Amino acid sequence: MRRAFLVAARRTAVVPQGGAFRGLSVDALGASVLQALLADAAIAPEGVDEVIVSNALGEGGNPARRVALLAGLPERVAGLSIDRQCAGGLDALLLARALIAAGADVVVAGGAESASQRPERRMPGADAPYGQARFTPWPDRDPDMAQAAEALALRLGISRKAADDWAVASHAKAMAARANLRAEILPLAGVADDAFTRALTPALAARATPVTGGITAANAAVAADGAALCLVVSERIAARAARAVEIVSGLTLGGTPDEPGLAPVAAIGAALAAVRLAPFALERAEVMEAYAVQAIACVQGAGLDAARVNLRGGALARGHPIGASGAILAVRLFHDLAGGYGLAAIAAAGGLGTALVLRG
């Protein structure tokens, strides 16, 4: 099987819905990052075989194609748009790896999302439960995401304090890492840092607006705008790159729709088993923090070392641009891995989990 490598990885800052990116389309967000990737890797637009973009909230119309054209790629690059909700950004990388295995040399993959420009016509109808899109055909097995997180906390005994402490730590790590994170962030619209990151204290977290039960505005990630893309190439192209990080395994698995927060646990186990890697052997891991409770449950369920997880903060400290969030995890690993193995893992509505293992 032909091996696949990341040779460049970039993202925009993440900006909460209605913020500085509110006037930027998904096309503009993605195209800006794509151009930066090619410059980083010194690859001409003509060298790109395909562009795969995850987008969950847009108006359709193949945004990957629009991103490719706006970035100045040749018209022969068709563009492939996918929607696997939160997992889509990592799934784009898995598809890119498959294209490399099948003979492609250069694939751009990741996600772009604008919660600010989510079209009303794609909003769920009045009969949709909890005002969210449907993720299963059975309303009684299609829980509201915040309510599912609260149910998970109650079942596993994860306290409100534990969730708040995780959120406080996420912000503290991100604040301390701002200078490091700028290496991966493409300044855009005057924004060079994740806009939501702040000095969250236990007192502020305790006063946060409740969403449901112990789930609050402090321990749940905010809706956001942003884009993240990786340049996935063959071994031939990687041989002349300044940096190359290999995709060594990865997959998406479906689990019970009723408990989406735990879905990554099985995917993590399978991805690690595929390369005979134990959790303790990971150099670091990036685990999605849609909710602090969900992140805690996944770390515990997969047997990960919490001291190696989200070392520069997670989604609680930056926000959640749904289609791009998985790709942001991979971007983080690309910039931080120092020769060892790294894991990216994310849950998605409907009971889906995606895990990706990289080797620096």
Task: Establish whether 298 is a catalytic residue.
Answer: no
Q: What are the b/e assignments for 40-68, b being 16+ CB within 10 Å?
A: bbebeeeebbbbbbbbbbbeeeebbbbbb
Give phi and psi for 89, each to the nearest 5: -65, -40
Task: Establish whether 230 is a catalytic residue.
Answer: no
The CATH number assigned to the domain with range 4-117+139-359 reads: 3.40.47.10
- CB-neighbour burial class of residue 173 (10 A; exposed 0-12, middle 13-18, buried 19+): middle
Evaluate whether 300 touches 164 at the Cβ level (below 8 Å).
Answer: no
Give the pLDDT of the chain (360 residues) as one tens digit per residue.
899 999 999 999 999 999 999 999 999 999 999 999 999 999 999 999 999 999 999 989 999 999 999 999 999 999 999 999 999 999 999 999 999 999 999 999 999 999 999 986 555 554 544 457 888 888 888 889 999 999 999 999 999 999 999 999 999 999 999 999 999 999 999 999 999 999 999 999 999 999 999 999 999 999 999 999 999 999 999 999 999 999 999 999 999 999 999 999 999 999 999 999 999 999 999 999 999 999 999 999 999 999 999 999 999 999 999 999 999 999 999 999 999 999 999 999 999 999 999 999
Catalytic choice (171, 230, 298, 320)? 320
Token reading at 255: 């689990």
- pLDDT reported for residue 129: 43
- Cα three-residue angle 327-205-289, rounded to 5 degrees: 20
Catalytic choice (86, 230, 298, 335)? 86
Q: For residues 303 and 202, give the distance between their C-alpha atoms in angstroms, rounded to a whole number.
A: 26
Q: Maximum distance among all alpha carbons in the chain? A: 55
- How many CA atoms lie within 13 Å of 82's alpha carbon, on the beta-carbon side? 24
Q: Which of 56, 2, 3, 53 is nearest to 28 (CA)?
A: 53
Every domain of the chain and the residues it spans? 4-117+139-359
- How many CA atoms lie within 13 Å of 7's alpha carbon, on the beta-carbon side? 23
pTM, entire model: 0.96
